[in-house]
Amino acid sequence: MIIEPVINGVVARTAHPFGCEQSVLRQINYVKHAKSITQGPKRVLIIGGSSGFGLAARVALTFGGSQSDTISVSFERGPSEKGVGTAGYYNNIFFKKYAEEAGRTAINIQGDAFSPQTKEDVIEAIETYFEGEVDLVIYSVAAGIRPDPETGEMLRSAIKPIGQEVTGATITLEDDTWHETTITSATEQEAKDTLKIMGGQDWESWIDTLINVESIAEGCKTIAFSYVGPEVTHPIYLDGTLGRAKIDLHQTSHSLNLKLANFNGGAYATVCKALVTKASVFIPGLSPYLIALYKVMKEQGTHEGCIEQMQRLFSEKLYGVHHVPVDCERLIRMDDWELDPTTQEKVSALVAELNSSNFKQLGDYKGLKQAFMQLNGFGFESVDYTKPVNLDAFAAEIS
């Protein structure tokens, strides 16, 4: 079949296998020529390693100097009668292919990160492939739903402000249109549920589980990804349900840091730059800021994607240094270039100019749309998208 891009709102319904391969290869090529990671971890567990920051971290640690072996957990769909499968499914396959060609161990575990069974599968894999211990645990899960660990009831997250309505613009990727929307305030229950899904509870559960089964190596570190953003995004983000969850994540890093101190290790929440990811496109009101930010930072030569941030994180901040550089709240700030005062002054001025008539001309909407398409394997010049893909033969060939 010929696979074409299908977008509903901000959700990609199709993914191209060979475009996903090109995405993985581009990231591998970047880290091979970037500043090398020194004194890096050798046995890495990534919870949520199939796309975005999780995949970029996996690529950086395997090919960017550390030569790490990895186990990745992700919840992806392969090709079936219902569809062609998700981009993360193909990312996992091609990452494993190239990692093994380089002599590295790359284990993909398909499962829900919130499931006790998945934890058991991971522990078994650590015993089998890592001699029972891990040196680094990366938590990179962006989920909209999870079971309550106490009651089993399904919880759903809500990306909303707290205590106020917020009006802002959202760009629909399906038809490239600008929409003014008003988002109502979250209920207290919505805020609590979002915190349980996107806060630090599950991250801590994973680390506690690994400590209890004695799978934490001497010097083991753990990181989880977060976002804070500038003042212009605070009403919907930092001051909303997502922000409350991220604050909980930051607080969790402190308790985990105390636990890992027993192993001469540490725990850090890592604040990343705003980017187009499968999670960020769902945040109402963020897209105008993103196209302004992309425009300004590309002009300044400071723009970074996921892979550039992860390589810089591991080569300059987490490994090969005497002390991990953190701010007054013990956060690793990978958003330092984004929040540069000069950058933010220019971004804020540009955001104020954007509207439904000019956003494509004034902002970097083309760059945002391209980044989104490439997340799903489309928009690569080296791929012939008119060529039919036999998904059955493809799955059989690479399984």
Catalytic site positions: 237
142 annotated binding-site participant: yes
Nearest-CA neighbor of 248 among 286, 206, 193, 326? 193
59 annotated binding-site participant: no
385 annotated binding-site participant: no
Beta strands in 244-371 (DSSP E): 266-271, 331-333
Query: What is the end-to-end Cα distance of the chain in Å, rounded?
Result: 19
Q: How many CB atoms lie within 10 A of CB 125?
A: 17
CA distance 161 to 201: 21
Please check whether residue 49 is in contact with residue 70, taking contact to mean a CB–CB distance below 8 angstroms.
yes
Please check whether residue 372 is in contact with residue 9, taking contact to mean a CB–CB distance below 8 angstroms.
no
CA distance 35 to 47: 25
Kindly state the DSSP code that residue 337 receives in the 8-state scheme: T
In the block, residue with structure tokens 């990452």:
95
49 annotated binding-site participant: yes
CA distance 310 to 59: 9
183: which strand partners?
A: 166
Residue 398, phi then psi, degrees to nearest 5: -110, 5
Q: How many CB atoms lie within 10 A of CB 13?
A: 13
125 annotated binding-site participant: no
56 annotated binding-site participant: no
277 annotated binding-site participant: yes
Q: Is 345 exposed, middle or buried (0-12, 13-18, 19+ CB in 10 A)?
A: exposed
253 annotated binding-site participant: no
CA distance 308 to 301: 13
* 3 state SS for 3-15: CCCCEECCEECCC
CA distance 321 to 336: 18
52 annotated binding-site participant: yes
366 annotated binding-site participant: no
113 annotated binding-site participant: yes
State the amino acid at position 365 in one-letter form.
Y
Q: Which residues are annotated as a binding site?
A: 48-53, 75-76, 112-113, 141-142, 227, 246, 275-277
Q: Which residues are annotated as a binding site for NAD(+)?
A: 48-53, 75-76, 112-113, 141-142, 246, 275-277
